[in-house]
Amino acid sequence: MVPTQDESSSQDLLQAQVDLWHHALGFVKSMALKCAMELQIPNAIQGHGGSITPSELATKIGLHPSKLPRLRRIMRVLTVSGIFAIHEAASPDKEVVYGLTPTTRLLVIDEIKSNLFPILSLILDSTVISPFLDMHSWFLDECSTSLFKKAHGLNIWEMANHDDTYNQLINNAMVSDTNFLLDIILRECGDVFHGINSLIDVAGGHGGAARVIAKAFPQVKCTVLDLPHVVAEAPTDDNVLFISGDMFKYIPPAHALFLKSIFHDWGDEDCVQLLKKCKEAIPPRDAGGKVIIVDMVVGSGPNAIVTRDTEVFFDLLMMCFEGKEREEFEWKKIFMEAGFSDYKILSVLGVRSVIELYP
**DSSP-derived secondary structure letter, 263:** G
Question: Quick one: pLDDT at residue 229?
Answer: 81
Interhelix angle 164-189/208-216, rounded to 10 degrees, is 30
264 is catalytic: yes
pTM of the model: 0.88
Is residue 310 a contact partner of residue 234, using CB atoms and an 8 Å limit? Answer: no
Could you give phi then psi for residue 2, rounded to 5 degrees?
A: -80, 130
237-285 pLDDT tens trace: 888 999 999 999 999 999 999 999 999 999 999 999 999 999 999 999 9
Question: Quick one: pLDDT at residue 157?
Answer: 87
Of 22, 48, 136, 264, catalytic: 264
The DSSP secondary structure of 31-99, one letter per residue, reads HHHHHHHHTTHHHHHHHTTTEE-HHHHHHHTT--GGGHHHHHHHHHHHHHTTSSEEE--SSTTS--EEE
**DSSP-derived secondary structure letter, 251:** -
Decide: helix, strand or coil at residue 203. coil
What counts of helices (H) and strands (E) characterise the chain? 17, 12
Please list the ranges in the chain whose pLDDT falls under 50: none
Could you give phi then psi for residue 178, rounded to 5 degrees?
A: -65, -45
137-183 pLDDT tens trace: 999 988 778 999 999 999 998 998 888 899 889 888 988 899 899 98
